[in-house]
Amino acid sequence: MKLLTKVMAVILIIPFVMAGCTKKEEKGEPSKSSERSVIKKETVVKVPEQIKGKWKAVTVAVKEKGTGKVQTYSVEIGSDLKLPGTDFSVRVINFFPHFVMEGINLTSKSNETRNPAMEIRIYRGDREIYHGWIFANYPTTNMPKEFAFDLGLIGATPADRG
């Protein structure tokens, strides 16, 4: 989510940088573009009816950064995975089989697994240290430095299968 916010901020700033100096700025007068303010809009997660209740769990790969050891876990959507031997836990909030961003809305375009993504929150004890999305097709996600693991979305289990 932080990466998405940074990318959006850069996209909003580029037009101002590309505009360069105007004659008014060279004379010490502020231009109208420097008086504009950038409005930051929060994204909205919208779970479409076509996927509600259709997915039961996700399969998550957890790789320990120090040792490279990988373990896989099945985590029910809406529940927490407590990482053994640590004070970290991962909460799986949503799974979108066909993740898309439409304006500020984050949603699933269909129930087909074309761009699978899971929304997660990572906690250290009771303190949230990360909130964002993990994509099966784009596995690189910048985790907080204090989180000693990398996460990957391996797959998902439909609700009609055990």
16-30, 78-92, 98-112: least confident range: 16-30
Split into its structural domains, the chain has a count of 2
Q: Say if residue 14 is in the same domain as residue 68.
A: no
Share of the chain above pLDDT 90, in %: 67
Q: Say if residue 141 is in the same domain as residue 72.
A: yes
Q: Say if residue 8 is in the same domain as residue 66.
A: no
pTM for the structure as a whole: 0.73
Which of 98, 127, 122, 119 is CA-nearest to residue 110? Answer: 98
Q: Say if residue 79 is in the same domain as residue 17.
A: no
Residues 56-60, mean pLDDT to the nearest whole number: 98
pLDDT in tens, 34-54: 456 667 778 999 999 999 999
- The C-alpha atoms of residue 75 and residue 134 are separated, in whole angstroms, by 14
**Mean pLDDT, rounded, of the chain:** 83
